[in-house]
Amino acid sequence: MTITEPKPSYKYVGTRLVRPDGLEKVTGRARFAADLNIAGQLHAVVVRSPHAHARIVSIDTSAAEAMPGVKSVITGDDFPAVDSSHRQYDMCVNVIARDKVFYEGHAVAAVAAATLKQAQAAAAAVKVDYEVLPAVLTIDEALADNAPVLHSHMLTRGAEPPAEAASNVAAVTRFSGGNIEAGFAEADIVIEREFSTKPVHQGYIEPHACVADTGQDGYATIWCSSQGHFNVRSSTATLLGWETTRIKVMPAEIGGGFGGKTTIYLEPLAVALSSQAGRPVKMVMTRSEVFRATGPSPSTKIRVKLGAKKDGTLIAGDAYLVYSNGAYAGAGGMLGAMTVFESYNIANFGVEALDVVMNTARSAAYRAPAAPLTAFATETVLDEIAEKLGIEAMELRLKNAVTEGDLSTMGFPLARIGFVECLEAIRSHPHFNAPLAPNQGRGLAAGYWFNIGESSSATVNLNEDGTATVVTGSPDIGGSRASMALMAAEELGIDPHDIRPVVGDTEAVGFTDVTEGSRATFATGMAVVQACRNMVVELRGRAAKMMEVEVDDINWVDGHAVYVGNGDSASGSSGDSAAKESLSLAAIARKAKRTGGPLTATGSLEAHGAGPAFAVHLCDVEVDPGTGVVRIVRYTAAQDAGTAIHPSYVEGQIQGGVAQGVGWALNEEYIYAPDGVMENPGFLDYRVPVASDLPMIDAVIVEVPNPAHPYGVRGVGEAGIVPPIPAVANAIHSATGCRIRDLPMSPVRVLEAITAGGASANGS
């Protein structure tokens, strides 16, 4: 670990607590959504479109309804009409199609029956009459002049002049600074390259699942795994046209999400089916459904042009980004625009980003959404500039790296960040100068993610024995309960084992936004700290009562209310004064009834000051020149965590991001047949890395505390997936002389490049 700044010494923060939910998980007893069964439950399946683009002429459910065991059948008609101007229109019509289907796998109906087999048989008996429409399957097709337009209401947001006709371009985002023409005119070297990437899936191992039970009173309970159960509640209520209070969502353990479970698919269907049938309804996706009908990452076409002076100073940058977000509008392009040049000081820059739609599954967030793809472009062009100028890749980055006070792409000055520290951590790592074997190469790349804050709530309840329950509204996706326990322990001054951190349901804790944007430990951590500090205020008051002293004379020290009046508390030793000096948290808790009642405190806030996270990766590959197969032989990843509350899970987030990024770089992709049907909706042909595909991943935690967080936390969940694609690409270039600019860098593509003598498919 590299510690770059002096930091306060903590008693619990920074230790490697065994995670509170661990025992249930290693014994197989943890309850994930599909593990829940409720007496009387029905099983439901979704009828999905076999076409990528079609008008629904009619749906005949009569045969299905007549089949054995069938208790309810629903279609889009069973939900309130939703206008295209509605804020959540896309989510609503994605969950169940109304007049049109926009991708193969789009839900058109759902059937609940006594058994899964009966439901499957009945689903097959739902007759849907489609008028098949021409499908738009690539970015080029979506942008073509004569392209079929998916959404007749879609006018390009941000267009200048304002768009008058509908198109497949959902939005245009532009950022600029300085004078771009003058910048390029001053440059000694200008390199412009084009990149293309395919959709990839988060690949969480747990398929989406839920159980919903609508009571006779019309109030529904949903058990599901999601990254945000408050969002499940609001989205479901929106789709059904219900008041929010009618829905309670119980968070199950979540088996991975990485952004993919920030939106919903099944829950409103399950509630509607349950309402109709008067029985609980369970729904579990198959893996094929997960691939075809949930949200992969966008696909992209990106053009990046960079200009630099001979000494390596970047002077101009121009980027044109097109992100396809699948069937509905999304924010990929905008996020790409915010990240493409963020890591470096480029005085003159322009970015134009388009968000387009096409007939593939609606994209969802995937770990630092959009950023890995802009990093792929920027970091490989930088590598080429370094190569052509004869400057070391590391030196070029150090020379141009943003630091505190530099302006971000969006124009605000950056707070204290740790980019340079991450670069230096890699430069001083033994890996940096380690020898390479034949056919091996080394690639360096950096990545940035801004992280977010949003709303979080926490409640701290002190129990009569001096233990504490910490309730938050953030689903724990990578160990956040352990972090909450550590921060609460530090604040309250009690052992983390005496703290029970739990994820409360939507009625047990205040509103909390989705676990996304690396915000849980940051923002929900702030809410926990706030609740604990409120609790300490209360505890000091109670202690003052018990000691019969002024509350201002009480300090909270290491889990104890300590009397500091008269300035002699430290030396007192006899009789009454000893009792006055110090009361433990447990002693105060025991007497709570007599000092004012239950000890409970809350924290609810809109977290500001999320600290940008930077990551710098170094990757060694070995390329088989005969087959184009690339193996990762060594990997080191440095990342600024601000403060690592639980170092093991910070390392785990970094290592997991690297593995996903390597999969994205080398083999993962959605493959579509010409009619838009996904050809590889399973883990055999959608190739996520297996254990033997990877080496150990050396995670180097850099700690440059975020000044806006009480413990200096920056989010750590996302930045780690940003550098791997360019790190692998730069390593392949180092090994073979070939620059590959189209993902995935599969054996077929690598061998093509080697055979072509270093020229990539789209030129070099």
Partner 1 sequence: MSRVHVTCTINGDPVEFLCDGGQTLLDALRDEVGLTGAKEGCGTGDCGTCSVVMDGRLLCSCLVLAAEAEGSIVSTVEGMADGDDLHPLQQCFLEGAALQCGICTPGFLIAAKALLDRNPDPTETEVRYGLAGNLCRCTGYDKIVRSVMDAAKKINAGTGDHH
Partner 2 sequence: MRYASPTTVAEAVDLLGSEPQARVYAGATDLIPQIRSGRPEPTVMVDLKHIARLCAIADSETSFTVGAAAPTADVCAHAGLVVAFPGLVEASSLIGSDQIQNRSSWGGNLANASPAADTPPSLVANHARVVIAGPGGERTVGVEEVAIGPGQTSMSPGEFIVEFELDRPPARTADAYLRMTPRTEMDIAVVGAAARVTLDAEGRVTEATITLGAVAPTVVRAADAETALVGNEPADDVLDRVEAAASAVADPIDDKRGTVAYRRKVAGVLARRAVVIAAQRAAEPQRGRGGQQ
Footprint of partner 1 on residues 410-469 (CB under 8 A)?
none
* Tokens describing residue 746: 């599969």
When asked if residue 313 is in the footprint of partner 2 (CB under 8 A), the reply is no
When asked if residue 298 is in the footprint of partner 1 (CB under 8 A), the reply is no
Listed in sequence order, the residues at least 6 apart from 228 whose beta carbon sits closer than 8 Å to its beta carbon are: 262, 474, 475, 512, 513, 514, 515, 516
* Tokens describing residue 332: 């990929």
Q: Select the binding partner of residue 575 from partner 2, partner 1, none (C-beta < 5 to 8 A, by kind).
A: none
When asked if residue 202 is in the footprint of partner 2 (CB under 8 A), the reply is no
Closest CA to 266 of 283, 244, 287: 283
744 preceded by cis ω (within 30°)? yes
State the Cα–Cα distance between residues 699 and 704, nearest whole angstrom: 16
Number of residues in contact with partner 1 under rule CB under 8 A:
57
State the Cα–Cα distance between residues 384 and 448, nearest whole angstrom: 20
Q: Select the binding partner of residue 89 from partner 1, partner 2, none (C-beta < 5 to 8 A, by kind).
A: none
Residues 604-643, one symbol each (x = binds partner 2 by CB under 8 A, - = not), give: ----------------------xxxx-x------------
When asked if residue 116 is in the footprint of partner 2 (CB under 8 A), the reply is no
State the Cα–Cα distance between residues 23 and 716, nearest whole angstrom: 24
| Contact by Cβ (8 Å): 555, 562 | yes
Q: Which is nearer to partner 1, 268 or 661 (CB)?
A: 661
User: Given the structure tokens 């201002």, which residue do they identify?
Assistant: 552
Of 6, 26, 674, 763, the one binding partner 1 (CB under 8 A) is 26
Q: Which is nearer to partner 2, 278 or 747 (CB)?
A: 747
Q: Which is nearer to partner 2, 288 or 463 (CB)?
A: 288
Of 3, 5, 8, 16, the one binding partner 1 (CB under 8 A) is 16
Q: Which is nearer to partner 1, 148 or 652 (CB)?
A: 652
- Decide the pairing of beta strands 299-308 and 189-197: antiparallel
When asked if residue 203 is in the footprint of partner 1 (CB under 8 A), the reply is yes
Residue 256 CB, shortest distance to partner 1, in Å, is 4
Distance of CA 497 to the CA centre of its chain: 29
Footprint of partner 1 on residues 204-233 (CB under 8 A)?
204-207
Number of residues in contact with partner 2 under rule CB under 8 A:
26
| Contact by Cβ (8 Å): 607, 454 | yes
Of 11, 127, 246, 287, the one binding partner 1 (CB under 8 A) is 287
Cβ–Cβ contacts within 10 Å for residue 28, how many? 7
User: Secondary structure of 415-427 in the HEC alphabet?
Assistant: CCCCHHHHHHHHH
**Start-to-end CA span in the chain (Å):** 39
Of 692, 696, 757, 763, the one binding partner 2 (CB under 8 A) is 692
Of 113, 136, 527, 697, the one binding partner 1 (CB under 8 A) is 697
Using DSSP's 3-state secondary structure scheme, residue 587 falls into helix
Annotation says 718 is catalytic: yes
When asked if residue 478 is in the footprint of partner 1 (CB under 8 A), the reply is yes
497 DSSP 8-state letter:
G
When asked if residue 748 is in the footprint of partner 2 (CB under 8 A), the reply is yes
Closest CA to 356 of 502, 173, 556, 525: 173
| Contact by Cβ (8 Å): 360, 52 | yes
Footprint of partner 2 on residues 672-691 (CB under 8 A)?
679-680, 683-685, 687, 689-690
From the list 141, 289, 516, 718, the catalytic residue is 718
When asked if residue 268 is in the footprint of partner 1 (CB under 8 A), the reply is no
Q: Select the binding partner of residue 658 from partner 1, partner 2, none (C-beta < 5 to 8 A, by kind).
A: partner 1
Listed in sequence order, the residues at least 6 apart from 682 whose beta carbon sits closer than 8 Å to its beta carbon are: 287, 288, 291
Listed in sequence order, the residues at least 6 apart from 23 whose beta carbon sits closer than 8 Å to its beta carbon are: none
Q: Which residues bind partner 1 (CB under 8 A)?
A: 16, 18-19, 21-23, 25-32, 34-35, 37, 202-207, 253-258, 284, 286-287, 477-479, 648-649, 651-653, 655-660, 682-684, 688, 690-692, 694, 696-697, 699
Site for partner 2, rule CB under 8 A:
124, 288, 626-629, 631, 666-667, 671, 679-680, 683-685, 687, 689-690, 692-693, 746-748, 751-752, 755
Cite the active site residues: 718
